[in-house]
Chain A
Amino acid sequence: MKDNYIIAIVVIIILSGIFIMDSLEMINQDYSYYKKDYTENFILIKKESNNYYWDAIEKSIVENSENDNIAIEVLDESKTNLISQNELLEMAVISKPSGIIISGFDSSSMEENLVEASEENIPIVFINDEGTNALRDAYVGPNNYQRGQMAIQELISETGQEYNVLIVDEYGVEERNLVIEGMISEINNHENIKLSMIQASSDYRFDLSNNIREVVSQNPEINVIIGTSIYHGSSIAKLIIEMNKVGDIDIIAFDGSLETLNFIKRGVIKATLFTDGETIGTEAINTLKTIVSDDISLDAYYVPTVVVNEENIDDYIAGEENE
């Protein structure tokens, strides 16, 4: 009993000591300053912002650079108010990073800045779109020519039927030649498949539906629509539902969004061809690291394209929902 209050005093002193030490540490924690801990800095120029596909690429690039003292800077139009990829590229090049990852789409228009990068010894890795070989150090992404072929091959499973195909392309035939070339080459191999029209949708966010509605109305023989952009699949599906043409017109999409997968499940979209964005990001950063460390140029690394249709939709839709 006599010792009780001695114990209490000791406990109070210990508690106070712990509280004071812990609180002081908490109060005085350092809120500043970043000390440079990266040796290389790469710039990723996203072709699209707020887009699941490009977000997946960014995510895997960032994740795969974290343990290698590499800083990743991401430029896209939403952050810079610069619409043009070329301007983003120019801004990136004059910042003198250790490497740049950019879509090879419309690479010829960016030639001047790509050459400038080359002169500054800044390696360029194209992703998603292969672009001009001479202007890049490597390509990581799908085999677009093969993807075009695969899209048409999805149609010929049903023998005997005639297909009049409308290809919807993001910026027009001149810009997307590889996918279109692949399709055309495959269409030429099949007499029952005819290319009715290639429809450009430069500002797809506003007038895609109106354009397609008009084309379909004027060309009632069209029974296949192929949307080559990741935005096309669900937009065309909604239009076909609206036009009450489900079953009359087959849709081939080029994206793996959950919306597109759901339309496949409902039978509105016939199939979709998509390439995993995270795999592209992972391979892109690894390729750039190799180029920088070994000072070499690499050729194309083709990331496999997957075809999802009503036969295997359940395997993919479950995975997407989980994600």
Chain B
Amino acid sequence: MNNKHSIKKTLFIIYLLIIFSMLIGNLFPYISYERYNSVLNDVSERVYDIKDLIETNAKIDVALSNFVFSGDRIYIDQIYNNYQDLIINSNKYKEIVFDEKSHLYLENIENILDNEYSEMLESTIWSVRGVDEEAKQVNYYQFKKINQYVNIYLQMLFDRELENSRQIKTQLKEISDEMTVRIAIFMFSNLVFILFLGFSYGRRLSNNLKKLTDAAEEVSHGNFQIEKINLDSDDETLLLAEAFNKLIGNTKSLINKIKDNANLEVKLHKEEAEKSQMEVLLNQAKLKGLQAQINPHFLFNTLNVIAKTAIIEDADDTCELIENVSDMLRYNLNNIDRIITVNEEINNIENYISIQKARFGERVEFIIAIDSKFLNYHLPLLTLQPIIENAFMHGVEDLESGGEIHVYSTQIENKDYLVIEDNGVGMKQAKAETLLMEESTTSHSTGIGLNNVRKRLEFYYNREDVMFIKSEVAQGTQVFIQMIDSIEVENV
């Protein structure tokens, strides 16, 4: 699980952002409320402080009046204590005023308190102790006037600070309103972005899952030929897609392997069938051969006796004929599945022809004209003899004279052929082809018909077009055998 952005992680971030936005959105009204509350309290306190200054100033006036008219010294402490308070508090307050005007008023108050106020206070107190009633009266009223001026300044300060506090309250209200708007904008914009984020992520996730489910559906219907799934993702869906792609790939290769095995099996079956057919043909030929081998030693001994008798009687032709028959029979008694050269096969048919010449005399002429390059080509044993025998039986046998059997090599469409051609009675083409396709019913010296020859050639060359026949009534017959070099045969 090395994916950078797992679904869990992404959802966690989205939840975190929502909580964060909510937290900020709720925290700030609280912070600003606390702050505004503190400022408002501070502002109210200031106004009350000034009110205290005004009261202190009034207390001095009252205490002085009481002292002037009663002469009771008890009021002197009140006067000085309140005066000290007035000095201290006005000085202290001067440091925490809101604006220039308030500061100016307090500076004026300070100047008055330090000078005329204290002087007239002292003068009045001293004049009370004296006997000069007029001075006492003048000083008292002069102090009252100065006390009034201080009071005026304090009132002006009070009004000013009240106005300032009102302005601050208004300002706080404006800030509070602006804060509300800001929080609303903040919350709204964050909401929009979080929605966008959620929607965007959700859509991507949904698209990716849809791609996967579509692909899975295709596979469930047996269609493995689907494109590789590419996802725009780096979360678990990507892992899922990669696993799915791998699964599809493995399944495809498994299916191909099974198909190949099946094909191979079919091919093997076919080959086995062909092999067994070949074995049947060979067995057939062998059977025919065995039939011909019935007591061959007796036959050869007999033929030798006849040949010696012919020599004794000076019948040389008979002797040669018997020897040819003997050679031919010996050749024919060879193993039927043996492969021999064209040259060997030609030697054999020459023996056969010399025997047939003894039979047909001048009625039939044999012509052999084969290119020497073909003499070393290979063929199955007894390929040519059955064909020549067929040419006698179905071609020239019935001719009174002028019969010809040609054995020659030729090229047709760049392919080499051996051709056995006779000018006998011929036959219809259909019948000629039947000879190639059907088992022979006619008795050959070898017991092997054209059909057997064709099939053995086809097995040997492992192809089907190696032999064909052309014939026409009264026009003779041509049998074509394709010649293939031994090397090519091995390759086949």
Partner of B104, one of A22, A23, A73: A73
Query: B408 within 8 Å of A by Cβ?
Result: no
Which segment, of B94-102, B242-250, B291-299, B376-384, faces chain A? B94-102
Query: A28 within 8 Å of B by Cβ?
Result: yes
**Is A96's CB under 8 angstroms from B111's CB?**
yes
**Is B149's CB under 8 angstroms from A32's CB?**
no
Query: B131 within 8 Å of A by Cβ?
Result: no
CA distance A297 to B24 in the complex (A): 65
**Is A1's CB under 8 angstroms from B17's CB?**
no
Partner of B21, one of A12, A41, A82: A12
Query: B107 within 8 Å of A by Cβ?
Result: yes
- Interface size of B as a range: 35 or more
CA distance A19 to B98 in the complex (A): 28
CA distance A19 to B43 in the complex (A): 27
Q: For B179, what are the chain A residues with a Cβ–Cβ distance below 8 Å?
A: 23, 26-27
Q: For A37, what are the chain B residues with a Cβ–Cβ distance below 8 Å?
A: 100
- Interface size of A as a range: 35 or more
By beta carbon, the residue of chain B nearest A116 is: B116
Interface string of A10-29 (1 = CB under 8 A from B): 01100110011011001111
A1-60 with Cβ < 8 A to chain B:
1-2, 4-5, 8-9, 11-12, 15-16, 19-20, 22-23, 26-29, 31-34, 36-38, 41
What is the CB-to-nearest-CB distance from B141 to chain A, in angstroms, rounded to a whole number?
13
What is the CB-to-nearest-CB distance from A298 to chain B, in angstroms, rounded to a whole number?
25
Q: For A32, what are the chain B residues with a Cβ–Cβ distance below 8 Å?
A: 42, 96, 98
**Is A95's CB under 8 angstroms from B175's CB?**
no
**Is A80's CB under 8 angstroms from B156's CB?**
yes
CA distance A95 to B24 in the complex (A): 52
**Is B104's CB under 8 angstroms from A41's CB?**
yes
CA distance A38 to B186 in the complex (A): 43
CA distance A5 to B11 in the complex (A): 11
Query: B400 within 8 Å of A by Cβ?
Result: no
**Is B42's CB under 8 angstroms from A95's CB?**
no
Query: B193 within 8 Å of A by Cβ?
Result: yes
What is the CB-to-nearest-CB distance from A297 to chain B, in angstroms, rounded to a whole number?
24
**Is B190's CB under 8 angstroms from A15's CB?**
yes
What is the CB-to-nearest-CB distance from A36 to chain B, in angstroms, rounded to a whole number?
6
Q: For B21, what are the chain A residues with a Cβ–Cβ distance below 8 Å?
A: 12, 16
Q: For A97, what are the chain B residues with a Cβ–Cβ distance below 8 Å?
A: 108
CA distance A95 to B35 in the complex (A): 37
**Is A73's CB under 8 angstroms from B200's CB?**
no
B6-31 with Cβ < 8 A to chain A:
10, 13, 17, 20-21, 24, 28, 31
**20 other A-B residue contacts (CB within 8 Å) besides A12-B193, A19-B182:** A5-B200, A8-B194, A8-B197, A9-B13, A9-B197, A12-B20, A23-B28, A27-B31, A32-B42, A33-B98, A34-B103, A37-B100, A38-B100, A41-B107, A71-B103, A73-B108, A94-B112, A95-B108, A96-B108, A97-B108
By beta carbon, the residue of chain B nearest A95 is: B108
Query: A90 within 8 Å of B by Cβ?
Result: yes
Q: A15-B189, A19-B182 are in contact. Are A5 and B108 (CB under 8 A)?
A: no
CA distance A71 to B108 in the complex (A): 12
Counted as pairs of residues, one from A and one from B, with CB atoms less than 8 Å apart, the total is 122
CA distance A33 to B95 in the complex (A): 7
Q: A2-B233, A2-B234, A34-B102 are in contact. Are A23 and B32 (CB under 8 A)?
A: yes
Query: A296 within 8 Å of B by Cβ?
Result: no
Interface string of A223-264 (1 = CB under 8 A from B): 000000000000000000000000000000000000000000
What is the CB-to-nearest-CB distance from A28 to chain B, in angstroms, rounded to a whole number?
7
What is the CB-to-nearest-CB distance from B313 to chain A, in angstroms, rounded to a whole number?
114
Query: A189 within 8 Å of B by Cβ?
Result: no
By beta carbon, the residue of chain B nearest A94 is: B116
Query: B314 within 8 Å of A by Cβ?
Result: no
Partner of A19, one of B24, B112, B153, B171: B24
Query: A266 within 8 Å of B by Cβ?
Result: no
Query: B163 within 8 Å of A by Cβ?
Result: no
A178-209 with Cβ < 8 A to chain B:
none
What is the CB-to-nearest-CB distance from B172 to chain A, in angstroms, rounded to a whole number?
8
CA distance A9 to B97 in the complex (A): 46
**Is A8's CB under 8 angstroms from B200's CB?**
yes
Query: B228 within 8 Å of A by Cβ?
Result: no
**Is B197's CB under 8 angstroms from A5's CB?**
yes
Interface string of A65-77 (1 = CB under 8 A from B): 0000001010000
Partner of B111, one of A16, A20, A33, A95: A95
Q: A9-B17, A9-B197, A95-B112 are in contact. Are A34 and B149 (CB under 8 A)?
A: no
**Is A16's CB under 8 angstroms from B20's CB?**
yes
**Is B112's CB under 8 angstroms from A4's CB?**
no
29 residue pairs of the A-B complex, CB under 8 angstroms, read: A1-B232, A2-B232, A2-B234, A4-B200, A9-B13, A12-B190, A16-B190, A23-B28, A26-B179, A28-B35, A29-B175, A31-B39, A32-B98, A33-B96, A33-B98, A34-B99, A36-B103, A37-B100, A71-B100, A71-B101, A71-B104, A73-B105, A79-B156, A80-B152, A80-B156, A95-B107, A95-B108, A95-B111, A96-B115
By beta carbon, the residue of chain A nearest B18 is: A12
CA distance A9 to B12 in the complex (A): 12
CA distance A276 to B103 in the complex (A): 31
Query: B366 within 8 Å of A by Cβ?
Result: no
Query: A318 within 8 Å of B by Cβ?
Result: no
**Is A82's CB under 8 angstroms from B32's CB?**
no
CA distance A71 to B105 in the complex (A): 11
B residues whose Cβ falls under 8 Å from a Cβ of A: 10, 13, 17, 20-21, 24, 28, 31-32, 35, 39, 42-43, 95-105, 107-108, 111-112, 115-116, 145-146, 149, 152-153, 156, 168, 171, 175, 178-179, 182, 186, 189-190, 193-194, 196-197, 200-201, 204, 232-234
Query: A83 within 8 Å of B by Cβ?
Result: no
By beta carbon, the residue of chain A nearest B40 is: A31
**Is B35's CB under 8 angstroms from A12's CB?**
no
Query: A159 within 8 Å of B by Cβ?
Result: no
Q: Most chain-B CB neighbours within 10 Å: which of A26, A33, A94, A96?
A: A94
Q: For B32, what are the chain A residues with a Cβ–Cβ distance below 8 Å?
A: 23, 27
Partner of B200, one of A1, A16, A87: A1
Q: A1-B204, A94-B116 are in contact. Are A34 and B194 (CB under 8 A)?
A: no
What is the CB-to-nearest-CB distance from A35 to chain B, in angstroms, rounded to a whole number?
9
**Is A26's CB under 8 angstroms from B152's CB?**
no
Interface string of A98-136 (1 = CB under 8 A from B): 000000000000000000000000000000000000000
Query: A91 within 8 Å of B by Cβ?
Result: yes
CA distance A100 to B112 in the complex (A): 16
Q: Most chain-A CB neighbours within 10 Å: which of B99, B116, B146, B178?
A: B116
CA distance A73 to B104 in the complex (A): 7
What is the CB-to-nearest-CB distance from A86 to chain B, in angstroms, rounded to a whole number?
11
Query: A81 within 8 Å of B by Cβ?
Result: yes
By beta carbon, the residue of chain B nearest A97 is: B108
Q: For A80, what are the chain B residues with a Cβ–Cβ distance below 8 Å?
A: 152, 156
By beta carbon, the residue of chain A nearest B207 is: A1
What is the CB-to-nearest-CB distance from A140 to chain B, in angstroms, rounded to a whole number?
23
Q: For B101, what are the chain A residues with a Cβ–Cβ distance below 8 Å?
A: 71, 73
What is the CB-to-nearest-CB distance from B211 to chain A, in angstroms, rounded to a whole number?
14
